[in-house]
């Protein structure tokens, strides 16, 4: 029985090799790289990796694998943290990194359509001259398809939401190879089942996402970031609660306890006081940002917060948020080998 299954898998691999040529890899290194994400889980490589270039190729692979009962695992950039890309039962890994085209940008309607392998940084580089940006920022330079599949959030979620609020349509290849399109660009439409939100967060189990339609936002006129520390965790938490309750439209708020702050200081060579700490970012007009910052610093002072340390220059803001994005690695570095 096991031998028969192996035979079928090998036949599928040979069929795919005849269709994709060098874009079907069975090399040990490529398989190992695709059997592991950024988490501690031990690698479980697929039997082969297919580097696809368009939706029809994905449909072709799923149609064949479905007919023969061979597992398929979609792969974006492998930055997830829960072992999702591991090939528990072997099978074909569908790597979408070569599907990296921005297909359309509708600047007046504030939306765009991209292939699933475009990463969030590639998209923002592409958008740079349009005055628009895509705000969902899970730290890692993940693929838009992977971010949709995991319903990624990130530091900007407090203001801009998560992938769930920002994916407006999808092209998906279902398990049997059928291609469907969900959602659309009209903001007001509520017709039919909300299939888009069913696929967002489905972790590759319901189909392979090949194209994603996204909401975009205007780059704010002014941005400013600040850090403040507290004597108690309760003070930091109450500051966040009051800020949100008062409707201050902060773009980012991140809480670090003293252990995490210590780890971040060491890893990113910073020297913030080792105390419960909030990182903030404010977006808006010059006057709006000033007003938000004043309101929040007053709230923080009420709950025992220290003076705000400001980062207004782009490079200082990047350093601050890079330290936040590296928080995972900073935590890992606290106990090497753990
Ligand atoms: C330092 C660091 C910080 C992070 N911070 C955050 C954070 O703040 N918030 C957050 O949400 N996440 C965070 N993450 C997790 C990670 O970045 C996200 O899970 C990311 O969205 C995964 O995208 P990916 O392209 O790497 O997908 P992969 O890791 O390649 O895949 C993830 C899952 O999605 C499936 N998948 C991938 N592409 C597709 C597709 N096109 N169609 C269907 N299924 C697909 C895969 O099969 C797998 O199940 C962080 C990761 C790191 C390393």
Q: Where are the domains of the chain?
A: 2-95, 102-218, 222-334
Query: Which pLDDT score, from 0 to 100, does residue 77 have?
Result: 98
pLDDT in tens, 314-331: 888 888 999 999 999 999
Question: Average per-residue pLDDT in the chain?
Answer: 94
pLDDT in tens, 150-169: 999 998 999 999 999 999 99
Pick the CATH number of 102-218 from 3.30.465.10, 3.40.50.1100, 3.40.50.300, 3.20.20.120: 3.30.465.10
Q: Which residues pair with 143 in a beta bridge?
A: 119
CA of 304 to the centre of ligand 1 (A): 37
The stretch 238-264 carries a mean pLDDT of: 96
Say yes or no to pLDDT of 87 above 60: yes
Say yes or no to pLDDT of 94 above 80: yes
Pocket-testing residue among 58, 74, 135, 172, ligand 1, by greatest number of atoms within 8 A of Cβ: 74
Query: Which pLDDT score, from 0 to 100, does residue 53 have?
Result: 98
Pocket around ligand 1: residues whose beta carbon is below 6 Å from it? 37-38, 73-81, 84-85, 96, 116, 138-140, 142-143, 145-147, 149-150, 152-154, 203-204, 208-209, 325, 328
Measured N-to-C along each axis, helices 55-68 and 2-20 cross at an angle, to the nearest 10 degrees, of: 160
Size (the chain), residues: 338
For strands 102-106 and 111-115, give the pairing. Answer: antiparallel
For strands 92-95 and 102-106, give the pairing. Answer: unpaired
Query: pLDDT confidence of 188, banded at 50, 70, 90?
Result: confident
Question: 43-73 burial, b for 16+ CB within 10 Å, e for fewer?
Answer: ebbbbbbbbbbebebbbbbbbbbeeeebebb
The Cα–Cα gap between 38 and 180 comes to 31
Query: pLDDT confidence of 1, banded at 50, 70, 90?
Result: low
Contact 57, 94 (CB under 8 A): no
Contact 209, 252 (CB under 8 A): no
More confident residue, 215 or 316: 215
CA of 168 to the centre of ligand 1 (A): 19
Query: Which pLDDT score, from 0 to 100, does residue 4 have?
Result: 81
Four-CA torsion 219, 223, 229, 230, nearest 10 degrees: -80
Query: pLDDT confidence of 189, banded at 50, 70, 90?
Result: confident
pLDDT in tens, 256-300: 999 999 999 999 999 999 999 999 999 999 999 999 999 999 999
Pick the CATH number of 2-95 from 3.40.50.9100, 3.30.470.20, 3.30.9.10, 3.30.43.10: 3.30.43.10
Query: pLDDT confidence of 313, banded at 50, 70, 90?
Result: confident
Query: Which pLDDT score, from 0 to 100, does residue 3 have?
Result: 81
pLDDT in tens, 70-82: 999 999 999 999 9
CATH code of the domain occupying 222-334: 3.30.70.2190
């Amino acid at each position: 029985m096991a031998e028969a299954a192996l035979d079928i898998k090998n036949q599928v691999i040979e069929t795919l090799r005849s269709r994709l040529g060098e874009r079907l890899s069975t090399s040990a290194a490529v398989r190992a790289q695709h059997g592991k994400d950024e988490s501690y889980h031990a690698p479980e490589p697929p039997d082969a990796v297919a580097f696809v270039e368009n939706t029809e190729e994905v449909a072709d692979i799923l149609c064949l694998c479905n007919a023969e009962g061979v597992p398929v695992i979609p792969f974006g950039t492998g930055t997830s943290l829960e072992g999702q890309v591991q090939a528990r039962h072997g099978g074909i890994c569908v790597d979408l990194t070569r599907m990296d085209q921005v297909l359309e940008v509708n600047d007046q309607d504030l939306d765009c359509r991209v292939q699933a392998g475009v990463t969030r940084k590639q998209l923002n580089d592409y958008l740079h001259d349009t005055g628009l940006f895509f705000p969902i920022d899970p730290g890692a330079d993940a693929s838009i398809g992977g971010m949709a599949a995991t319903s990624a959030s990130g530091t900007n979620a407090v203001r801009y939401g998560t992938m769930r609020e920002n994916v407006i349509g999808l092209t998906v290849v279902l398990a049997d190879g059928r291609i469907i399109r969900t959602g659309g660009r009209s903001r007001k439409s509520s017709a039919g089942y909300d299939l888009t939100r069913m696929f967002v967060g489905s972790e590759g189990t319901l189909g392979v996402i090949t194209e994603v339609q996204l909401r975009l936002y205007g780059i704010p006129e002014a941005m400013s970031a600040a850090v403040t520390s507290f004597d108690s965790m309760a003070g930091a938490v109450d500051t966040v609660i009051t800020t949100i309750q008062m409707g201050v439209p902060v773009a980012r708020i991140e809480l670090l306890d003293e252990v995490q702050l210590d780890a971040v200081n060491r890893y990113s060579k910073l020297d913030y006081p080792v105390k419960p700490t909030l990182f903030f970012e404010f977006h808006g007009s010059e006057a709006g940002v000033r007003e938000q910052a004043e309101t929040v610093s007053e709230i923080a002072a009420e709950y025992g917060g220290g003076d705000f340390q400001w980062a207004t220059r782009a490079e200082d803001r990047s350093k601050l948020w890079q330290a936040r994005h590296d928080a995972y690695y900073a935590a890992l570095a606290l106990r090497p080998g753990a």
